[in-house]
């Protein structure tokens, strides 16, 4: 029970208290996920709106995971706050959970709007649990990835570079904002190897307005997504640097 309480308290400190004292930061995190949505909507005269919404939601979640990575390396190198946590009864996973929750809090306004759009396109209330599960899966795997990456990056400058690179690999190159049908057959396995492809397909599936490839199913999507979540959590637990060597 204590780890859960600790995680919520960390989220409270770094999320709620921070926002209460610094509410303006919410505006920026709330607006940024809509930039690509806006461009795609305008550029295609609304035709690509379903892809754009699914893509923006995925990209936002990738962004929260990576922002977590950035925050963590900042807390570690600049504030030395991680030092204080390491030499305390807080476990690395609890620390990660707490900061990931606070990241989610910052993203909540945008998430609610984007998730609302998905549901309004999909039209079915039954899709809400599926949507929430999808969001949690992506959030969890991206957060643990962010934590894992951050703890291996010693310098802030490095962190920012790695984070933008990973963002491109996960959210820009794969079929997150566009149809997987466009991807040449030879590259499809590669696209399917990335969790974000499945995340976008799951959202497209819920929306139900775009063609779903025959070789993909919801179960497949969940399996890959869950595998990434478990894999990254294990990596974060065992390979993330908590005590330095």
Partner 1 sequence: MLAIDAVGVTKKYKGSRMLALSDISLKVESGKVFTLLGRNGAGKTTFVRICATQLTPSSGTIKVLGHDILQNASEIRNLVSIVPQEGRPLRALTPWDHVYNWLKIRGEGSSSAREKTEDILRKLELYEARNRPAMNLSGGMKQKILVAMAMATKAQLLFLDEPTIGLDPVSRRQVWSAIKQWKSNGGSILLTTHYMDEAEILSDYIVIIDKGKIVAEGTIQELRRIIPQNMRVDVSKDGLDVNSLSSYGSVVDTGGGMLRVFTFESAARELSELAIRHNVSFTVSPVTLDDVFVHLIGQTIDKGDTNGVGQNERN
Binding site for partner 1 (CB under 8 A): 2, 5-6, 9-10, 12-14, 17-18, 21-22, 78-81, 83-84, 86-91, 243-245
Smallest gap, in angstroms, from Cβ of residue 2 to partner 1? Answer: 6
Which residue from 222, 205, 228, 208 is spatially nearest to 143, judged by alpha carbons? 228
Q: What DSSP character marks residue 13? A: I
User: For residue 244, is it left (φ>0), alpha (ψ between -120 and 50) or beta?
Assistant: beta
Output the smallest distance, CB 112 to partner 1, in A: 23
CB of 111 to partner 1, least distance (A): 22
- Please say which residue, 129 or 243, places its beta carbon nearer to partner 1: 243
Minimum Å gap between C-beta 189 and partner 1 is 37
Contacts of 18 (CB under 8 A, 6+ apart): 25, 102
Work out how close the CB of 146 gets to partner 1 at its nearest, in angstroms, rounded to a whole number.
19
25-53 as b/e, with b when 16 or more CB fall inside 10 Å?
ebeebbeebbebbeebbeeeeeebbbbbb
Tell me whether residue 106 or residue 228 sits nearer to partner 1 (CB atom): 106
Q: What angle separates helix 156-167 from helix 127-152, to the nearest 10 degrees?
A: 140
CB atoms within 10 A of CB 150: 28
Pick 84 or 168: Cβ nearer partner 1: 84
d(CA 155, CA 158): 5
* Choice between 78 and 215, CB closer to partner 1: 78
We find the least distance from the C-beta atom of residue 73 to partner 1, in angstroms, to be 15
122 to 6, 50, 170, 181, 204: CA distances (angstroms):
37, 10, 25, 21, 9
The gap between the terminal CA atoms of the chain, to the nearest Å, is 30
Given the complex with partner 1, which of 79 and 165 has the nearer CB atom? 79
**Residue placing its CB nearer to partner 1 in the complex, 21 or 189:** 21
């Amino acid at each position: 029970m204590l780890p859960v309480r600790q995680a919520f308290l960390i989220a409270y400190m770094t999320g709620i208290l921070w926002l209460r004292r610094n509410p303006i930061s919410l505006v920026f995190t709330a607006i940024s996920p809509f930039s690509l949505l806006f461009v795609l909507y305008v550029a295609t005269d609304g035709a690509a709106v379903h892809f754009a919404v699914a893509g923006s939601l995925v990209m936002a979640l990738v962004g929260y995971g990576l922002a977590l990575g950035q925050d963590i390396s900042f807390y570690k190198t600049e504030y030395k706050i991680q030092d204080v946590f390491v030499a305390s009864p807080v476990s690395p996973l609890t620390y990660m959970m707490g900061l990931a929750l606070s990241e989610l809090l910052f993203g909540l306004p945008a998430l609610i709007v984007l998730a609302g759009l998905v549901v309004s396109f999909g039209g079915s209330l039954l899709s809400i649990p599926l949507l929430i599960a999808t969001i949690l899966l992506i959030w969890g795997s991206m957060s643990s990835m962010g934590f894992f990456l951050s703890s291996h990056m010693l310098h802030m400058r490095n962190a920012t570079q790695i984070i933008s690179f990973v963002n491109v690999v996960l959210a820009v190159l794969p079929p997150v904002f566009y149809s997987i049908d466009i991807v040449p057959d030879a590259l499809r396995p590669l696209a399917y190897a990335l969790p974000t492809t499945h995340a976008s397909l799951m959202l497209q599936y819920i929306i139900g307005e775009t063609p779903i490839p025959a070789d993909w199913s919801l179960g497949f999507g969940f399996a890959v997504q869950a595998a990434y979540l478990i894999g990254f959590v294990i990596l974060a637990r065992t390979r993330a640097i908590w005590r330095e060597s």
